[in-house]
């Protein structure tokens, strides 16, 4: 199941790569012909998005590999690593756009053309639609890299939205407002960098084995406690590995049970967790005698 989720995610990311290539070419053409640096900067970010999407796609392809002798817990961390690379690309994009925006602000140039506005409106709509689609899939799969990619598409939509506002001000204001779209591009850099921080924090958390959300652990405890003959759950440690959850759990049972009976209960707990819609792929169950 984890392999199927990784492959589905990889296909969606591949579609995003194609979208970025098409929109990048369209925005670059519109920016050059429409005299809008904000649109040219937006195009540059779309092309950088293509690079980061390729990294995410590669991460999911690696994460889809089954466990082997060298990686007994699978290759799920590859998706978190690709999410971290995406954060790096986002920071580079923000810094580059900010640098060029300042240069354009202090350099006199022709104002933007109004025809760039409907182009940007279409770009924002497409990017927001794609971002929402990825966030829905992330809500189902819980993939850090997929969320990073979704927010990367949303940051592109934000950049395009800021460019729309700046170009609109430049078009309406006329002479003296030629740099409005450059200021918009500069403002968008703050939003892009902020998204990059969020992506980096979550990716690092997964790489460093941060705790899963409390509600996920609570649900695992509830499912284990519902297994017949389980008195209560003591320890419960959950490791997030890409699209999968690995569980280490201690359950208490009647101390008078035989080893075979305890073994059967452990298997029942494992089966209950793996069959639940939580993306649990492996469970280590420790049987403890209940305190009388």
Q: What is the pLDDT of residue 223?
A: 93
Q: What is the pLDDT of residue 226?
A: 93
Lowest mean pLDDT among 51-55, 170-174, 190-194, 209-213: 51-55
Please report the domains of the chain, with CATH numbers, ordered by start residue: 2-207 (1.20.1510.10), 214-289 (3.30.70.1350)
Query: Pick from 65, 76, 195: which is nearest to 143 by CA?
Result: 76
| C-alpha distances in Å from residue 128, one per residue of 29, 42, 92, 95 | 21, 15, 22, 23
Residue with tokens 């450059």: 182
Report the SS3 class of residue 264.
helix
Tokens of 248: 């280490």
Handedness of CA 17, 19, 25, 29 (dihedral sign): negative
**Helix or strand (DSSP H, E) at 244:** strand 244-253
Residue scoring higher pLDDT (43 or 256): 256
pLDDT in tens, 80-132: 777 787 788 778 878 877 887 787 778 776 666 677 788 778 888 887 887 78
**Helix or strand (DSSP H, E) at 113:** none
Return the DSSP state at 231.
Answer: -
Residues ≥6 apart with Cβ < 8 Å to 255: 289, 290, 292
pLDDT of 224 > 90? The answer is yes
236 vs 243: CA distance, rounded Å: 19
For every residue of 118-137, DSSP letters joined together read HHHHHHHHHHHHHHHHHHHH
């Amino acid at each position: 199941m984890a392999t199927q989720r990784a492959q589905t995610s990889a296909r969606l990311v591949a579609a995003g790569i194609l979208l970025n290539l098409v929109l990048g070419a369209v925005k670059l053409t519109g920016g050059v012909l429409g005299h809008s640096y904000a649109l040219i900067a937006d195009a540059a970010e779309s092309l950088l998005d293509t690079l980061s999407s390729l990294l995410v796609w590669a991460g999911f392809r690696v994460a889809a590999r089954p466990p082997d002798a060298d990686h007994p817990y699978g290759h799920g961390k590859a998706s978190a690593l690709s999410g971290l690379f995406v954060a790096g690309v986002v920071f580079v994009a923000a810094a580059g756009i900010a640098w060029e925006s300042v240069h354009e602000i202090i350099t006199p140039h022709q104002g933007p053309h109004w025809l760039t506005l409907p182009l940007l409106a279409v770009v924002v709509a497409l990017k927001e639609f794609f971002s929402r689609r990825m966030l829905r899939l992330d809500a189902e799969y819980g993939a850090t890299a997929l969320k990073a990619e979704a927010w990367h598409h949303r940051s592109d939509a934000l950049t395009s939205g800021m460019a729309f506002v700046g170009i609109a001000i430049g078009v309406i204001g006329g002479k003296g407002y030629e740099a409005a779209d450059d200021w918009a591009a500069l403002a968008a850099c703050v939003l892009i960098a902020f998204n990059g921080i969020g992506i980096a924090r979550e990716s690092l958390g997964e790489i460093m084995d941060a705790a899963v959300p409390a509600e996920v652990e609570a649900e695992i405890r509830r499912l284990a406690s519902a297994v017949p003959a389980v008195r209560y759950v003591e320890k419960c440690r959950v490791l997030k590995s890409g699209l999968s959850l690995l569980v280490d759990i201690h359950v208490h049972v009647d101390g008078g049970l035989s080893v075979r009976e305890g073994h059967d209960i452990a298997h029942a707990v494992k089966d209950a967790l793996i069959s639940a819609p939580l993306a649990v792929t492996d469970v280590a169950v420790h049987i403890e005698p209940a305190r009388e």
